[in-house]
Structures are given as structure tokens and as C-alpha cells.
Amino acid sequence: MRANKLPTEEIKRDPAAFTDRVTADGRFGRTAEAGRYRLVISRACPWAHRVVMTRRLMGLERAVSLAVTDPRQEIIEGDPHWVFTEETGSPGGVDPVLGIHALREAYLARDPGYDGGVSVPGLVDTQSGHLVTNDFDRLSLDLATEWEGLVREGAPDLYPEALREEIEEIGARVYRDLNNGVYRAGFAPDQRRYDDAVAAVFACLDDLEERLTDRRYLVGDSVTMADIRLFATLVRFDAAYHGHFKCNIRKLTEYPALWAYARDLFQTPGFGDTTDLDHVRIHYYWVHEGINPTRIVAAGPDPRGWLTPHHREELGGSPFGEGTAPGPVPEEERVPAIG
């Protein structure tokens, strides 16, 4: 959807345009190699955030470098695009590794005739400059399961085979009614479709509140892909979706179990230390002119609540299962500290 246009129809997400897979054995044609690929993201984007969390939890920071775009998009030939700027660490507005200003250049390097949308995350081959994939879900799963030999010692099992069916069952509901549901509400073209979307958002949150009242994590006794998928939306809920997308029946902070669960994850390495709430607020309020034509960026909410005690450890479980916590965030990837 054009961010600077008023919505005229219900938002629809196109399937990923490029879906090459990268694995340790190269069975799909591309082999996982340290230094070969660069992950282009926006810290505002929940779909990109899933991949960043997975990459950090698996300890792949040195194997796959990270490029961060500006939270404000630039209009190029009439369309908004993810671009590199001095403010996000790209001298002269050009990514120092890929040598490009806009992510769309990697799309066009892959397919000069491409005229579709450009989304983050994008995994780019540093040797050819070609986009490899913008399939955020498959990329997350592959980083969690297919990069053996490059992941850190003690990396958690984020997608246990015995739990995959349950992870995907919960993930389908969360995606439909919450991850994508907030967008359906925010970009609803009429009252009926807004009412339908926002009702589904809060029905899902109500069910998750009940599920998480007596269990620490969504599936099993440790963090899985189900938690990563949910956290990416929860951490943006009060900062963007509650006000900007009119999902304002309740705030996340009004759900005792969900709010404690979200704080538990935020304070777990890999979650809060990959979250930039300034980027979130700036992007949503500045880019979506059709919803917020003044581009005034909301000041709140106060992020310090994310650091308050949650007491979820009393429910048992351990965030990394039989694994260990990731090490410190690389200095060049640190997000602003809260407090």
C-alpha cells in the first residue's frame, strides 16, 4: 500500500517476490557462508524484527552482516522506498557494503524488469548485489534450523520438531488476527471493515491473555518461533497500533499476563536489545500520511515500563531451554538504551 495515500480498499499482502533459500548443505542452490550475505532491515518493521531476533538468538551476527535503513522512507519515482542515510550509519546515504542508496537497487540487480513492491527484510548476496529473498517467515525459519556450523555454541532450538505443528497452528491465528490484523484495522477503508478487524485483534489478545496466564511461553517451556512472531507485534502495540492504527479498545499494559509476558521477553537477550522504539514511533507516524497527514510523531508511551519486574520466572521454564543466552550485542548494532 502506498504510505502517502488514503486507503481505498482492504490491505492485502502480496506473496514474497523472491524466495531463494540458503542452507548449510546448499540443497536449494545457495549455501550458507560466513560473510556472503547482508541482511537489510528497518528497525521499525515487525516482519524484519522477527529475522533480527532469530539471527541474534542463533549467534549469526558475524556470519550475516546487518544494514539498517532510515525509519523514514524516501519517495522515489512516486513510491516510498527503504533507503540508507547518514543518520543510520551509511556515509553519504550509501550502504558501505552493498554500495546502494535504496533497497530497491538490490531488487533491480536481481531482476531489472521488476516493478513490484519493495519490502524489508531483504537478504542480499554481497558478491553479486542481488536480492536473495524477502520471504521473512521462511528466512527466519532457515536461520533457526538450516545454518548449522555457523550458529553459536549454545544456540537454542527455536523450532523443535515435536512442537512445530502447535507453533504453526498458533502462528496462523496470531498472523491472521493480530500481526496482520492491526494493519487491517489501521488501513481499513470503511467502518465495517475496521470494526471486523479490530474485533478480531482483541479477540486474539483476549485468548492469548488466557493462554499465558499459567504458562511462561506460548509453546513448550522455552522461547520458540511462536514467541518471536508474537513479540514483534506486542512490542509495537502501545507505541503505534493502539493510537495510530486505532486499535484502542485496550492497551497492552491493561492485560496483566500479556504485559508481563512481553516484559519477560523484552528483558531476555535477543528481544529488547534488538528493539528500537524511537524508530517504531518515527516510522509509523511519519510515513503513513494517509492516516496521519501532519506527520506529527507521538511522544509516548514512556518506555521505562518495559524494564519493570515481571515475575514470570515463577511459572517455570527457561528462555533458552538447554542452550545459553547470546553474548553482548556487537557495538555497531546496539540500540538506544531505555532509562
Which residues carry out catalysis? Answer: 45, 183
β pairing state of 131-133 and 122-125:
antiparallel
Buried b (16+ CB within 10 A) or exposed e, 272-308: bbbbbbebbbbbbbbbbbbbbeeeeeeeebebeebee
47 belongs to an annotated ligand binding site: no
> Residue 227's closest CA among 318, 305, 94?
318
> Distance between CA 207 and CA 257 in Å, rounded?
11
Q: What is the 3-state secondary structure (H, E, C) of the chain?
A: CCCCCCCCCCCCCCCCCCECCEECCCCCCEECCCCCEEEEECCCCHHHHHHHHHHHHCCCCCCEEEEECCCCCEEECCEEECECCHHHCCHHHCCCCCCCCECHHHHHHHCCCCCCCCCCCEEEECCCCCEEECCHHHHHHHHHHCCCCCCCCCCCCCCCHHHHHHHHHHHHHHHHHHHCHHHHHHCCCCHHHHHHHHHHHHHHHHHHHHHCCCCCCCCCCCCCHHHHHHHHHHHHHHHHHCCCCCCCCCCHHHCHHHHHHHHHHHCCCCCHHHCCHHHHHHHHHHHCCCCCCCCCCCCCCCHHHHHCCCCHHHHCCCCCCCCCCCCCCCHHHCCCCCC
Residue position matching grid coordinates 538504551? 337
> Distance between CA 222 and CA 208 in Å, rounded?
17
Extract the annotated binding site for glutathione: 82
Residues of each annotated binding site: 82
